[in-house]
Structure 1
């Protein structure tokens, strides 16, 4: 049996707030197999996005251990975490986080260039074609609709063929029809590349498209 993509053991997260330390996650133990898709659900403030951030090394657990692909994320410094994400992860947020002064093609090519791919622009063009935006490659984010911007974000997240896809409410800023199209694309790209998908969503119907649903409440597994 292959090693799990994620193995969390008693992981916790405490952050400093205006009124003092706030406990966000409490003793999360969770294992995710390679190629599995997991929907993270729960009410607002339950810790879904925080758990995704910990799994992606965007926040470091303040207790317990988070291991991904055999690497202990809790033992890495910021530079090592950034390299790990660059080489193994694709992340899609509710907000598109595109660079406004770059074209769609440049936005997708940038992480490929940072990863050392000499054919970054060719691969970026192919990734945009995969999400139906071949004709919009030269447009800037301000010239694209919300759905088109999220397609660019999807292309950017998957162009490096990551082993892990993390998606945090990727349809939250889109109308229902556009959101459904984006989710179809996300699952299609995930299937095509054989990636492990962790999806944060408040939509139970979306979560049910995953292999497994994990529910959180008050920072604990429900």
Structure 2
């Protein structure tokens, strides 16, 4: 694969537990191409969200290497990782993580302001319009439905025009109708910005729309887990 956008090499993650270290990811090697849509699936506790967090520099690998856009995330400190995400990545979570004291418009504009954009509020308004919320720009999160809050979160993630879009169970807290609408918006934003999209999901209908689907089992890619079991 020429110049993958995301490249993991024997990536491992161990976290401290009451009985000692717990191995969450056990040697993941994976490349993701520019413009690809990759779905991460698997049972609860298999390491899907942890893998996504490593790709976003929100969790630090305890072994191996994580490269995004040619940059080694494992060599960056927290400030450098934050700057890298601000300029290159958009992240959407299952729980919307909106700032409750800010309007929808202010929530979307905040990352643009932090990045020094002169037109932060104009771009934020355009992104809210793209997700069908132009008329709700002045509303606070408590005044919005769950589906509307996730739309604001999508607009916020898309506003910096990220090269890599990460989504962790973006439809997990929504009913079927709202979940379907968010799926359409997610792929529409990906197409509009030309981003690489990597998402964690339990929803078969969302995974089926991805270019490629990878299953995790017990902290390994399914093919690796099957090979280890056979040995």
Q: Which residue of 2 aligns with 1:24?
A: 24
1:61 match: 61
Deviation at 1:161, TM superposition (A): 0.4
Partner SS, residue 59 of structure 2: coil
2:120 corresponds to 1:129: no
**Take 2:208 and 2:178, find their aligned partners in 1: how far apart are those partners?**
19
Partner of 1:96: 96
The 3-state SS of whatever aligns with 1:206 is: helix
Deviations, residues 76-113 of structure 1 (Å, cap 9, x unaligned): 11011011110000000000000000000000000000
Give the corresponding residue for 2:227: none
Matches within 5 A, 1:159-174: 159-174=159-174
Deviations 1:110-145 (A, max 9, x none): 000000101100000000000000000000000000
CA distance in 2, matches of 1:18, 1:88: 36
Name the counterpart of 1:180.
Answer: 180
Does residue 139 of the first structure (1) align with residue 166 of the second (2)?
no
Q: Give the corresponding residue for 1:108.
A: 108
RMSD of the alignment, in Å? 0.8
SS of aligned partner of 2:96? coil
Measure the CA separation in 2 of the matches of 1:57 and 1:192. 24
Once the 2 structures are TM-superposed, how far is the Cα of residue 20 of structure 1 from its aligned partner? 2.0
Separation of aligned partners in 2, 1:196 and 1:100: 29
CA distance in structure 1 between the aligned counterparts of 2:106 and 2:12, rounded to whole angstroms: 37
Q: How many residues align?
A: 222
Tell me how far 1:205 sits from its aligned partner. 2.0
> In structure 1, what is the equivalent of residue 51 of structure 2?
51
Q: Quote the residue 2:71 is aligned against.
A: 71
Aligned-partner Cα distance in 2 for 1:208–1:70 = 29
DSSP 3-state at the match of 1:213: strand
Q: What TM-score does the superposition give when structure 2 sets the normalisation length?
A: 0.95
User: Could you give the per-residue CA deviations for residues 20-61 of structure 1, whole angstroms, max 9, x where no partner exists?
Assistant: 211000000000000000000000000000000001000011
Q: Secondary structure at the match of 2:26?
A: strand
Q: Distance in 2 between matches of 1:200 and 1:85?
A: 18
The answer to whether residue 156 in structure 2 is matched with residue 156 in structure 1 is yes
Secondary structure of the corresponding residue to residue 214 of structure 1:
strand
